[in-house]
A and B are shown apart, each in its own frame.
Chain A
Amino acid sequence: MRVLRGWWRNSRSRRRANMAATTTTLLTRSFINFLSISSPLSLQVPLRSFHTSLTACKYPNWKMIKEVKHRKIVKEFAFERMNINALRKNKIIPPAIQEIADKEIHALPRKSSISQLHKRCMLTSRPRGLVTRWRLSRIVWRHEADYNKLSGVQRAMW
């Protein structure tokens, strides 16, 4: 998990996210002070504790965030899409109904299609060179493997 933080810190997007977070805290610090004065409880809020559940703080990239939203839409329509596709991809159902099914699936949002998704590395948001099973880019994968963080992964020698 510490290595995760390292990638997290170094990426450009994270720096932007940090900047955004600090600005938000600057706006909210006075807000917090006001609250602390008004309330009897003494607030011991650590730095950048407000607005930590923002999507921007969780992912390294805005592209990654768009990808996440894409996946949510895919999940939403997955059930319907599977059923309609089952009707389409067989030779039993009459073709008239299959044509109707084609139209129906075309009517669904484009982003609900799994094939439209583009995988990215979870830590660096790299679009290419991914190791699918670990959802990591090859560089990160190599780094983690060298530090013995990947279970069952070993340097190949034969």
Chain B
Amino acid sequence: MAASLFPRASRALHLVLNGYVLRPQHQVRAFCKIPPDDEKSNAEKQEQTEGGSMTALEVEKPLLEERPQPSQMVQEVCAGGEGGKLKEGKLTSQKAVERVIEEDQVAVKQSLPEEKLETAKDKRASAQKKLNDLLKSLASADPMPMEPPLKLSKPKARQKKPINLDIQDQDSELPQPDEPVIEPELLSATREVAESLGGDVAATESELLSTLRSHTVNGSNDGKSSIDWSDLFVGMKVERTQSKPAEALPRRRRHHQDPSAQRTIFGDGVPNKKSLPRTITRPDPRTLARVDIFGAECLGIFTGESSKVSKSAVPASSSLVVWEAARKRELQQCVYHPPDNSFTEMIQWTKQGKLWVFPIDNEVGLEEEKSVGFHEHVFLGHHLDGWCPQRGPIRHFMELVCTGLSKNPYMTVERKRAHLEWYKNYFKEKEELLKELGAIEATP
């Protein structure tokens, strides 16, 4: 804020900060508004606090040393910039910083019992120090601001374990054999599958086993590849950003929850929607107990036999024929989707055989006839052998029938034979009558 208002000063400060060396507080002789008597008393008090702080909190010592920096720097800048105009010259940039420092010093001035003084002063010192750091950070135009030497505990980097798909591997550590190990259960399962599929059993089994082996190899490779990633990142530079500690977040949530719970109780009696936490606080996975699913024996509760039993409760051969039909239709309709538009409808009709298939083929539906030779259509005389008389009106009639059938290309051979067969049966029924008439010669 001050830096934005006073850019020259901020730039100067920046230059100074980069090369500044810490000086102990007692050596500083600040040229500021405060009269020397007060300064001295302040200095004495500060020294006292310093002494106290040494024993109590070793951490705060360097902080206290750093405290008077901004005031010093401002003074030096003024001295360097404008020569000897310091004492009289009161730069506005100085004022802003000085006022802040004065306030702090005034606060420090206030008399308190010594014991309390020390602790209070420690707190105030730390607060001042933080303030000064803030100002510093504002003044500096560095893209990477200096980290204050506050040592905060950070969470340990957790090592991620590689995922184990095989049940057996969970018990022991990851074995890395040269050949991938396949369980005997899997082997038997592959054998059964190959047998059920039919065909070349050995070939199918070998294919399945090869796929299994490739999967196991991939699993082991994934474990290895996780190591390779870290090797990749060795040469790369990583931006370091101040990350919040993970433990701070759950604490906040709890603080928020407690007052909200109180509000719901003492309020109208109806729980406030606003007070309720918006996000569902999930249990921390770290706190949950680790469960091994495949450790204990299978209880056999959810094997699916119960569902089968419930289905077979109603016998299949029940009197509810219509209901069964309706159920079947329902299932069909769930699977069947009506056409989206007329194009798909026409496609459907073509498949069903209701529409012509384009390009038009005159021999649609006569694919089988191509395999039948013309001789079967034309030469039908041998069908008359055995039952038809050699002469007479019946022979004449039958020969005409054969000629007519041979000329018909639209009939199938089976239908032609059926015609001839029908006549054979018909004349067999009328045999006696035909013999009386003299159509058939009585064979001795």
Contact assessment for A92 and B333 in the assembled complex, using a CB-CB cutoff below 8 Å:
no
The smallest beta-carbon distance between A89 and chain B, in angstroms, is 11
Asked if B346 is at the interface (CB within 8 A of a chain A CB), the reply is: yes
In whole Å, how far is B363's beta carbon from the nearest beta carbon of chain A? 19
- Report B431 CB to chain A, min CB distance, Å: 11
Of A17-25, A37-45, A58-66, the one touching chain B: A37-45
Residue of B330, B338, B342, B437 near A1 (CB, 8 A) is: B342
By a CB distance below 8 angstroms, the chain B residues around A50 are 329
Task: Evaluate contact between B346 and A1: CB separation under 8 angstroms.
Answer: yes
Contact with B along A31-58 (1 / 0, CB 8 A): 1100110010101111001100000000
Quick one: which of A43, A80, A93 contacts B333, CB cutoff 8 A?
A: A43
Please tell me which one of the listed residues A1, A39, A86, A100 contacts residue B401 in the complex, with CB atoms under 8 A apart: A86
User: Would you call A115 an interface residue if the criterion is a C-beta within 8 Å of the partner chain's C-beta atoms?
Assistant: no
The answer to whether B330 and A41 touch across the interface, beta carbons within 8 angstroms, is yes
Docked complex Cα distance between A90 and B403 (Å): 15
Give the complex CA separation of A109 and B249 in angstroms.
94
From the candidates B397, B423, B426, name the one contacting A90 in the complex (CB within 8 A): B397
> Given the complex of chains A and B, what is the CA–CA distance between A49 and B330 in angstroms?
11
Chain B count of residues within 8 A CB distance of the other chain: 28
**Is B20 in contact with chain A by the CB < 8 A criterion?**
no
- The residue that A49 contacts in the complex, of B331, B333, B393, with Cβ under 8 A, is B333
- Docked Cα-Cα span, A43 to B401, in Å, equals 59
A36 to B333, CA, bound (A): 12
Contact A44 B334 (CB under 8 A): yes
- Which residue of A1, A79, A92, A100 is within 8 Å of B397 (Cβ)? A92
Say how far A63's CB is from chain B's closest CB, in angstroms: 23
- The 8 A CB mask of B401-444 against A (1 = contact, 0 = none) is 10000000000000000110011001000100110010100000
Give the A-binding residues of B (Cβ under 8 A).
Answer: 323, 326-327, 329-331, 333-334, 338, 342, 345-346, 393-394, 396-397, 400-401, 418-419, 422-423, 426, 430, 433-434, 437, 439
